[in-house]
Amino acid sequence: MAQMHQPATGSTCPGCAEPLESGDLYCGACGYDLSAVPAAPVDTPTVVMGSPVAGEAWPAAHAADGSGAPVHLPTDLPGTDSGGSPLPSHARFDGPEARSEPDEYPLPAPDPRAADLGEQATHVSAPVKVCVACRAGRVDEDGYCENCGHAQPRERDHMEQELGPVAAVSDRGLRHHRNEDAFAVSTTALPDGSPAVVAIVCDGVSSATRPDDASAAAAARANESLLQALPQGTHPQQAMHEAIVAAAEAVNSLAAEPALAMEHDPHRHQNAPACTLVGAIAAGGLLVVGWVGDSRAYWVPDDRTTPPARLTEDDSWAAQMVAAGLMSEADAYADERAHAITGWLGADAYELDPHTASFKPDRSGVVVVCTDGLWNYAEGAAEMAGAVPADAAERPLHSAQVLVGHALDGGGHDNVTVAVVPFAVPVPGAGSAYN
């Protein structure tokens, strides 16, 4: 290949660019002192990738400020120990070190000397994301490291929220590349001033387009509907029914965005976004649950000598087989078709059939509202009660964290989301708006 000829370094004057001859000490055109020509600058990358100064700790995650907004925590990536077993939830990290680090590094200011030497400095106004695994590569727009190819943690990979007496935790799990679950927790007041506590948990259908958007839209819309209806005096069971219908409409509306759907996930066959939903309301001495799909709600009494109970029935192939008397529950849920759902929220659902149920517990306890990412590892009511800490009513966030850890330690094959709703039996004589 022919190459262009390059003049020797120093063949022109640094001051006026006039040609020089060998041996010149001064420029004949401008008088520049050639003996004072600065040494060529050291070539350094425009973007300097750094690591923390030795002895300085990274900033810790901020705690909740009491506003009720979810707290997004730094998320470790899945990994295994030297023996090939999944690491405990608190130690999952797929990078060279198991230490939490920020995912952004500020760019250094341009060196003013570069302008003096006639070099063009590159100005970057936005911070550059650096890989949490190799800590050297730049993260591209799709969330992957350009150096090692490692997928970076997303905002929804791990979320926690505690709001008064209710708390929820959601985690991506150890096998999925993103978290397609979503939740919403809230508190409000009934017309008589008594409190109402709400928890909504949704599980995106992975075989559908944009399952993460579907679950987020459903959870947010159901929660919004309940916060509007309950203070107006709507009976909690009716309010739950209306909330599920509203959530379905929110998910259906996503199907009207085909261009965005394909841009979001161009390699997936386009179909309607879909998700399951389960919710619980503790209000006025009543416990109301509502659901579509195979996400569940469990009742776990504070007094563990009394039996727990599962409050929902799955919309699934396995449940249909059991209901028809064709298979035992153990055989049906052991079948590979067990988790094929027969009901969901989405534009291509066969029909919307919201299920609701109302209970009036005679003792205090907690309601565990969860996706199958948890109940796969504690399917029976007794198993679930065994995984719930004894002080769940006093420490709902801690209990939700423990339950997520239970799923991760069990294998974490799916996204896992759980909300814990304490239910206290009203003091005798206090009355209720829904007696």
The answer to whether residue 66 scores a pLDDT higher than 50 is no
Q: Which of 17-26, 295-304, 319-328 has the lowest mean pLDDT?
A: 17-26
Provide the percentage of residues in the chain whose pLDDT is more than 90. Answer: 54
What pLDDT score does 392 carry? 98
For 316, the token pair is 């699934």
- Pair 332, 263: CB distance under 8 Å: no
In this structure, the strands spanning 128-129 and 355-359 are unpaired
Q: pLDDT band for 30, please (50, 70, 90 cuts).
A: low
Average of per-residue pLDDT across 367-391: 97
> What would the pLDDT profile of 139-156 be if each residue is shown by its tens digit?
887 778 888 887 777 889
> What would the pLDDT profile of 80-135 be if each residue is shown by its tens digit?
343 433 333 333 333 333 334 344 434 444 444 444 444 443 444 456 778 866 77
Residue given tokens 């070539």 in the structure block: 43
258 vs 364, more confident: 364
N-terminal to C-terminal alpha carbon distance within the chain: 91
Q: pLDDT band for 40, please (50, 70, 90 cuts).
A: very low
Average of per-residue pLDDT across 354-364: 96
Nearest to 159 by CA among 382, 354, 419, 432: 419
Q: Which of 147-161, 193-207, 394-408 has the lowest mean pLDDT?
A: 147-161
For 73, the token pair is 């925590």
The answer to whether residue 382 scores a pLDDT higher than 70 is yes
Q: How far is CA 394 from the centre of its chain?
A: 25
Reduced to 3 states, what is the DSSP secondary structure of residue 144?
strand
49 vs 224, more confident: 224
What pLDDT score does 154 carry? 80
Output the furthest CA–CA distance in the chain (Å, rounded). 107
The chain-wide mean pLDDT, for the chain, equals 77
What pLDDT score does 237 carry? 97
Measure the CA–CA gap between 95 and 8, rounded to whole angstroms.
Answer: 47
Sign of the Cα pseudo-torsion (26, 31, 36, 39, in order): negative
Q: pLDDT band for 23, please (50, 70, 90 cuts).
A: low
What pLDDT score does 1 carry? 42
What pLDDT score does 426 carry? 65
Residue given tokens 């976004």 in the structure block: 273
Q: Which of 90-104, 132-146, 324-338, 379-393 has the lowest mean pLDDT?
A: 90-104
The answer to whether residue 271 scores a pLDDT higher than 60 is yes
The pTM assigned to this predicted structure is 0.66
Strand ranges across the sheet with 416-423: 71-72, 158-163, 166-171, 416-423, 365-370, 296-301, 309-310
Reduced to 3 states, what is the DSSP secondary structure of residue 405?
helix
> What would the pLDDT profile of 198-256 be if each residue is shown by its tens digit?
999 999 999 999 999 999 999 999 999 999 999 999 999 999 999 999 999 999 999 98
In angstroms, what CA-CA distances link 330 with 295, 317, 368, 412, 426? 18, 13, 22, 21, 37
Measure the CA–CA gap between 355 and 237, rounded to whole angstroms.
Answer: 10
Q: Which of 76-85, 165-174, 384-393 has the lowest mean pLDDT?
A: 76-85
Average of per-residue pLDDT across 320-335: 90
